[in-house]
């Protein structure tokens, strides 16, 4: 196991109805909040009025900004930052899924540093003036953005979906309330489970060294994510399963199950390229479509890591494990079904190659370009299924 470092400065609150402590916990962070949400979910499910009332009860002044879409865009982040600056907001509250939470972190950077969020992507520039304090409330177990400092933003004009992170963008406070999951479709919840699973699976399978603790912790959480998701499918009233799934999501990308083994996040980048070209594909669904072809490549590239995973999990075939899970959750679907043109595979492969060349320290070259093509091609029409 390699040397590692961990930094987890977020104060984390978890449990049913924990959304009701939002106003109380926000009081010490600033005088005026910039409240970031998506357009529909909170309002349609009756949560938005509850949140407004909670903040007003605790005398929290706020400006509401709901112009965040799935796969959040550069202009949405930059516009939010401009409004927050004009309105004199001095901290951020982001309530939503990964898109809203990532956008909230981006807004927090741009308010303090000006310019565009795109200036800070791919670690090319550090936000020297820091970022506004951030509170995040997660509404779906998937990205784990509530417990890490990273974010992903899409540049629609360039069809690029890039990454940023900074120690300044760790949320000061995060709240995870499993009751939100009761208002999500099973398909959406199951897709979220793929996001958390791949956060741990891809570094495990691409690892340079074995890590006794992280390897076993990752397998425990992956197994738990699948078990809890299927429990919810069989019994939507299973609150314990919802609680466990939300907690797994936060832990998956916090560093504990993945650091010290030298793994990389290549599969996430294969998906970022895909949904950078096709904005109608949400990140978790994109990961689900790419998962089995990715595993098939990793079986050839890293057979020892594959065997290690199978031994710890107690299975004979990792490919069959995840193929079966996708079938049970309704996620065994092709990128063709989401409108991807076969002719765009060449363009997506070239984009991945450009990322590999431009950012050599990201570990993207652990998979050769011909295997990136294979992943997209097999995902196109599920040609790997015999």
Distance separating alpha carbons of residues 118 and 106, to the nearest angstrom: 9
Please enumerate in sequence order all residues whose Cβ is within 8 A of that of 91, keeping only pairs 6 or more positions apart, or say none.
26, 29, 30, 32, 33, 34, 132, 133, 134, 135
Banded pLDDT at 279 (limits 50, 70, 90)? very high
Give me the architecture of the 185-381 domain, per CATH.
Answer: Up-down Bundle (1.20)
pLDDT tens-digit readout, 351-377: 999 999 999 989 999 999 999 999 999
Structure tokens given for 102: 């990532």
Please tell me the predicted confidence (pLDDT) of residue 316.
98
Domain boundaries, the chain: 11-179, 185-381
Over residues 120-139, mean pLDDT: 96
Please tell me the predicted confidence (pLDDT) of residue 54.
96
pLDDT, averaged across the chain: 97
**Is 313:325 a contact under the CB 8 Å cutoff?**
no
Tokens 């689900």 -> residue: 288
Banded pLDDT at 114 (limits 50, 70, 90)? confident
Over residues 11-24, mean pLDDT: 98
- Domain 11-179 annotated CATH 3.40.30.10: no
Over residues 41-45, mean pLDDT: 96
Please tell me the predicted confidence (pLDDT) of residue 384.
87
Structure tokens given for 374: 């294979």
Q: How does strand 11-14 pair with strand 61-68?
A: unpaired
Structure tokens given for 227: 């078990």
pLDDT tens-digit readout, 45-76: 999 999 999 999 999 999 999 999 999 999 99
Of the candidates 153, 148, 143, 91, the one whose C-alpha atom is nearest the C-alpha of residue 116 is 153
Distance separating alpha carbons of residues 148 and 101, to the nearest angstrom: 10
Over residues 189-204, mean pLDDT: 98
pLDDT over 90 at 252, yes or no: yes
């Amino acid at each position: 196991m390699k040397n590692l470092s961990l930094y987890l400065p977020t104060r984390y609150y978890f449990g049913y109805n924990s959304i009701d402590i939002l106003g109380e916990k926000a009081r010490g962070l600033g005088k005026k909040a910039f409240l970031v949400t998506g357009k529909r979910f909170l309002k349609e499910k009756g949560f938005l009025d509850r949140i407004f009332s909670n903040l007003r009860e605790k005398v929290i002044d706020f400006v509401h900004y709901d112009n965040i879409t799935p796969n959040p865009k550069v202009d949405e982040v930059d516009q939010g930052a401009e409004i927050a600056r004009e309105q004199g907001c001095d901290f951020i509250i982001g309530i939503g899924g990964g898109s809203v939470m990532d956008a909230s972190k981006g807004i927090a950077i741009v308010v303090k540093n000006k310019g565009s969020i795109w200036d800070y992507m791919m670690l090319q520039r550090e936000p020297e003036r820091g970022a506004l304090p951030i509170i995040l409330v997660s509404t779906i177990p998937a990205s784990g953005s509530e417990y890490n400092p990273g974010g992903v933003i899409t540049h629609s004009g360039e069809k690029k979906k890039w990454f940023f992170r900074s120690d300044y963008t760790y949320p000061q406070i995060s709240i995870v309330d499993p009751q939100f999951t009761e208002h999500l479709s099973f398909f959406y919840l199951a897709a979220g489970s793929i996001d958390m699973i791949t956060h741990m699976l891809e570094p495990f399978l691409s690892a340079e060294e074995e890590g006794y603790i992280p390897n076993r912790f990752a397998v425990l959480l992956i197994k738990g994510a699948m078990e809890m998701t299927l429990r919810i499918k069989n019994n939507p009233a299973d609150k314990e399963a919802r609680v466990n799934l939300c907690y797994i999501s936060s832990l998956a990308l916090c560093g504990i199950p993945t650091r010290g083994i030298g793994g990389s996040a290549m599969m996430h980048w294969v998906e970022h390229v895909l949904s950078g070209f096709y904005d109608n594909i949400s990140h978790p669904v994109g990961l689900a479509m790419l998962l089995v072809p990715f595993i098939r490549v990793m079986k050839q590239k890293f057979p020892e890591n594959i065997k290690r995973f199978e031994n710890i999990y107690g299975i004979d075939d990792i490919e069959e494990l995840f193929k079966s899970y996708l079938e049970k959750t309704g996620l065994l679907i092709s990128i063709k079904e989401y409108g991807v043109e076969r002719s765009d595979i060449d363009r997506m492969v070239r984009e991945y190659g450009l990322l590999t060349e431009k950012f050599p320290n990201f570990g993207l070259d652990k998979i050769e370009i011909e295997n990136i093509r294979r992943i997209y091609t097999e995902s196109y029409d599920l040609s790997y299924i015999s």
